[in-house]
Amino acid sequence: MHVYQAKTFSIPPLDGISEESVKQHIGLYEGYVKNFNAMSKQVAELAVEDADKYAHPVSELMRRRSFEFDGMRLHEYYFAQLEGGSTPLTINGPLAKTLAEKYSPYGIEKVMTMMGNIRGPGWAILYWDPEAKEPLMSFVGEQHQGHLVTLPIILALDVWEHSYILDYGALPAGKAKYIEAFFKNVNWGVVEERFAAYTS
């Protein structure tokens, strides 16, 4: 059985997101990795011991496992976007042109902010649909409800309270301030590399 390892991220000091908040957030990510591994091990052990006797616990573990796996993967997208320092979106680059066509006149940040401010814990995610050849946005409840299946992720915005409560509190106004800070710190070069890989 493959054992997943938590990745390390080189995140510089951020504008509007404290080092302590990042540290705690990474610790939470590491918990997803640990829990996914533990659940996978437990499922294998119970199934081997007595598949009929443990059918119900195994089925519940399998359902819950997607929550842990998606939490692991989405945070890897999220933290990678903050590595290397804030870098602007390349003016007139392929991604900038695609986003301008899709989200004009509001702009990607405003549209994604509206998505991120949906009530409830989750993620605002910008995907790429290779069949339609266009970006699509979705709000993913928690981290496993509402994904656009098979679509690769261009940009992932974590809007669970753990992302912003330490710096801004739990009120909606704090969430909005956090999203603004997130966009100040995005390394768009990372996002552009993803887009280029998906569209090449």
Q: What is the pLDDT along the chain (200 residues), one digit of tens a residue?
A: 799 999 999 999 999 999 999 999 999 999 999 999 999 999 888 877 777 787 888 888 888 899 999 999 999 999 999 999 999 999 999 999 999 999 999 999 999 999 999 999 999 999 999 999 999 999 999 999 999 999 999 999 999 999 999 999 999 999 999 999 999 999 999 999 999 999 98
Residue located via tokens 């870098």: 87
Q: Which amino acid is at 193?
A: E
- Dist CA 83 CA 3 (whole Å): 25
| Residues 73/80, Cβ–Cβ less than 8 Å | no
* Stated pTM of the model: 0.94
Calculate the CA 130 to chain-centre distance: 20
Are the CB atoms for 158 and 22 separated by under 8 Å?
A: no
Identify the CA nearest to 195 among candidates 93, 123, 63, 107.
Answer: 93
